[in-house]
Chains A and B, each alone.
Chain A
């Protein structure tokens, strides 16, 4: 075919302006149509949802903010006056905030737990943010020096007045139980995971039984065991702290879950890595320490964070054996005659829920972020 090259042939040299989309598809109406009212079923669902929101949200908003009492020094402030409805009693939370954070830790010593919490969050930021320098050293410091420093700060001795653990409470106990649990369960979990994958039959059986028994029972029975049975197991006269007993229970329990998380990481390491280590003549412990565990632990970081989230939520159970964590100290204050009104139970519980939610939600976002980051590292 020959090409026609005459001046009479019209050749368009520039693009036409695109037509605007039909009004029913573009802009806000189009979006609404596409995402809310695309089919009879969707119309029904959307209308039902809108009705539900219109029914639930305004009263909730009124209760939380508009009708809420923000200031006051005792229950009078939160009692309904001349027929008005009273919403959340934030004055209660405001008045008890120090107790919800530190329990009955002496007021003049509260700088100690505050300092420990600040050090903890700074240290956490150091090891958790990928761009920070010297993170490896940070991890070691957090796992070794930080617990010692915190114990000294919180308990006292060596120049600081001693504060018995029965005075600890509130968010402080929640953090202590959660952080100790996770720090203690890491080495235990690593040993159990290695034991479960060991070729030595007896070691394997012991690890499997340990892991499955702890995973098969509820934490509450473990805490009961720690609080009533543990004293019986020790020689007569040896008795230790209630908080420490709970910590032992929590650490053993979390260790079993941690073992399963880490085992997942160990199984994800290609066989070639094990064989490569063996062919270099490394002993079992050398190959684990230098080749396998660094890779396995790196993949399971999201899993470890998830374990930490569930542990953080589970710390609220120590309330049942008589320790006053965040939830426990809030719950204890429901019976404070100075504040007793119908609205303090919902207010206090919503406050506790908000605190737990902020911690857990940010951790879960962090876990998802690490998962994405680690995934891209492994993709070719």
Chain B
């Protein structure tokens, strides 16, 4: 007796059954159904939207971007007046978002690394203080912290006349941080051009030093030399040009300062809140990264005769970075997205300016929100791409 393969039967019923139970065909049918459903859903949504927009008399389109904005923005890194267009307002908002994100990332990284390393310190007091800081701020919503810094700390500072005088003619009051404004003199651009040149030189020096070390075994103080080049070369050029930079010192006139440069309290509150909050997560990442490097690695380094500093720099940190970078990337992305909370304390970022004022004035909800979301998506993808590239460079090269 032979076993008959039922699917090999060529009667019509079996053929239907074979088709019904075929995983590939089922898969395609299922996908087709999902596709049809999504298309129908999209058509339904678009139909409703079109009808609603017609009823509200708002034509769909991006022409509103060229219209006069008519509202003011408190922090303007580029030219902007009441008569500027909504497109210009968008650029101002975007720049403000980038300013707060970049400054926040720098501050959060510094604080995060210091605190993360402090948590592993042998100094009991320092380690405990770092732990208390991390466990407290990590478990309180960022929005609340922003409101705290803005409403409970910076708003209750005394006015400019009674403000705190800090070194370098800087003053902290409820109007923000007033500091001298640099005035660029003639030839200062040359100094700015020298900086990239110095960076390239330092890079070339590092390459040469590494080649020489591989070839001859002689080491070279690369770090100190590069630092000297990057700082020293522009400084020499700057002095040679006769120091073409002066400062406008803010002066107290009446109830406020005249001249100088002001960092608005909103930006200070944003930076304090966002960097102290994100730093707690970065600290945890850094701690986990350092703990992930086994003690055998540092013991081996000591037995080779490396000093503690060298061990940290040459053995522990490069290996810890592999663990640290992927979660660090997502923290940077979170910080950038969290900068949108600026709206709550009136810092004019992209969401506050564009999805707030522009949306309220023009009523173009769909276009405005779509643009805002697209910008954040693009920022996220760019940051992720950059960090992935960096990660690929430091990743473990397996043979």
Residues in A lying within 8 Å of B, measured CB to CB:
35-36, 38, 42, 45-46, 49-50, 53, 199-203, 206, 213, 215-221, 224-225, 228-229, 231-236, 309, 313-314, 316-317, 319-320, 327, 331, 334, 342, 345-346, 349-350, 352-353, 356-357, 360-361, 364
Contact status A218-B351, CB under 8 Å: yes
| Closest A-B pairs by Cβ, 8 of them | A360-B139, A35-B124, A346-B152, A218-B337, A313-B141, A218-B340, A216-B380, A216-B377
* Complex Cα gap A216–B380 (Å): 6
B residues less than 8 Å from A199 (CB atoms)? 27
Which chain B residue shows the least CB distance to A43? Answer: B123
CB distance from B204 to the nearest CB of A (A): 35
B residues less than 8 Å from A38 (CB atoms)? 122-123
Contact of B51 among A53, A236, A319 (CB under 8 A): A236
Interface check B31, CB cutoff 8 A:
yes
Contact status A232-B53, CB under 8 Å: yes
A residues less than 8 Å from B140 (CB atoms)? 313, 353, 356-357, 360
Which chain A residue shows the least CB distance to B151? Answer: A345
Contact status A236-B52, CB under 8 Å: yes
* Complex Cα gap A75–B92 (Å): 41
Which chain A residue shows the least CB distance to B32? Answer: A202
Chain B contact residues: helix, strand, loop or mixed: helix
Contact status B123-A317, CB under 8 Å: no
Q: Which of B142-150, B178-186, B260-268 contacts A (4 or more CB under 8 A)?
A: B142-150
A residues less than 8 Å from B126 (CB atoms)? 45-46, 49
Could you give 7 example pairs across A and B, Cβ below 8 Å?
A217-B337, A219-B337, A225-B369, A225-B373, A313-B142, A317-B341, A356-B139
- A319-B344, A345-B152 given; A200·B369 CB < 8 A: no
Q: Which of A35, A220, A234 has most chain B Cβ within 10 Å?
A: A220
* Complex Cα gap A49–B355 (Å): 44
Which chain B residue shows the least CB distance to A284? Answer: B23
Interface check B38, CB cutoff 8 A:
yes
Q: Which of A231, A314, A345 has most chain B Cβ within 10 Å?
A: A345
* Complex Cα gap A213–B129 (Å): 38
B residues less than 8 Å from A36 (CB atoms)? 123-125
Contact of B343 among A46, A201, A231, A320 (CB under 8 A): A320
* Complex Cα gap A225–B368 (Å): 10
Contact of B143 among A221, A319, A342, A360 (CB under 8 A): A319
- A49-B129, A221-B340, A228-B369 given; A233·B34 CB < 8 A: no
Interface check B156, CB cutoff 8 A:
yes
Contact status A353-B55, CB under 8 Å: no
B residues less than 8 Å from A220 (CB atoms)? 340-341, 343, 351
- With A353-B140, A353-B148 given, name 20 new contacts (CB 8 A): A42-B123, A46-B123, A49-B126, A199-B27, A206-B38, A220-B340, A220-B341, A221-B376, A224-B359, A224-B372, A229-B365, A232-B49, A313-B140, A317-B143, A331-B147, A345-B156, A346-B148, A349-B147, A360-B139, A361-B135
Residues in B lying within 8 Å of A, measured CB to CB:
27-28, 30-31, 34-35, 38, 45, 48-49, 51-53, 55, 121-126, 129, 135-136, 138-145, 147-148, 151-153, 155-156, 337-338, 340-341, 343-344, 351, 355, 359, 365-366, 369, 372-373, 376-377, 380-381
* Complex Cα gap A146–B343 (Å): 36
Contact status A234-B48, CB under 8 Å: yes
- A36-B125, A46-B125, A320-B344 given; A327·B141 CB < 8 A: yes
B residues less than 8 Å from A225 (CB atoms)? 369, 373
* Complex Cα gap A201–B359 (Å): 38
CB distance from A256 to the nearest CB of B (A): 13
Q: Which of A38, A49, A217 has most chain B Cβ within 10 Å?
A: A217
* Complex Cα gap A221–B371 (Å): 11
B residues less than 8 Å from A215 (CB atoms)? 380
CB distance from A52 to the nearest CB of B (A): 8
Contact status A316-B48, CB under 8 Å: no
CB distance from A22 to the nearest CB of B (A): 20
Contact of A206 among B34, B139, B343 (CB under 8 A): B34
* Complex Cα gap A313–B146 (Å): 13
CB distance from B309 to the nearest CB of A (A): 12
Which chain B residue shows the least CB distance to A328? Answer: B143
Contact of A233 among B35, B48, B156 (CB under 8 A): B48
* Complex Cα gap A331–B151 (Å): 10
Contact of B139 among A49, A234, A357 (CB under 8 A): A357
B residues less than 8 Å from A232 (CB atoms)? 48-49, 52-53, 365-366
- A236-B51, A361-B135 given; A327·B144 CB < 8 A: yes
* Complex Cα gap A345–B340 (Å): 22
CB distance from B156 to the nearest CB of A (A): 6
A residues less than 8 Å from B136 (CB atoms)? 357
Contact of B125 among A50, A203, A218 (CB under 8 A): A50
Contact of B377 among A213, A219, A309 (CB under 8 A): A213
CB distance from A265 to the nearest CB of B (A): 18
* Complex Cα gap A232–B124 (Å): 58
B residues less than 8 Å from A319 (CB atoms)? 143, 344
* Complex Cα gap A343–B48 (Å): 49
Which chain A residue shows the least CB distance to B381? Answer: A216
* Complex Cα gap A350–B142 (Å): 13
CB distance from B374 to the nearest CB of A (A): 9
A residues less than 8 Å from B45 (CB atoms)? 233
A residues less than 8 Å from B376 (CB atoms)? 216-218, 221
- A206-B38, A220-B340 given; A349·B55 CB < 8 A: no
* Complex Cα gap A202–B33 (Å): 11
CB distance from A212 to the nearest CB of B (A): 8
* Complex Cα gap A50–B128 (Å): 12
* Complex Cα gap A234–B47 (Å): 9
Q: Which of A228, A235, A334, A364 has most chain B Cβ within 10 Å?
A: A228
* Complex Cα gap A35–B152 (Å): 36
Which chain A residue shows the least CB distance to B129? Answer: A49
* Complex Cα gap A352–B156 (Å): 19
CB distance from B322 to the nearest CB of A (A): 19
Which chain A residue shows the least CB distance to B118? Answer: A45
A residues less than 8 Å from B27 (CB atoms)? 199-200
CB distance from A188 to the nearest CB of B (A): 15
Q: Which of A50, A218, A219, A320 has most chain B Cβ within 10 Å?
A: A218
Contact status A342-B156, CB under 8 Å: yes
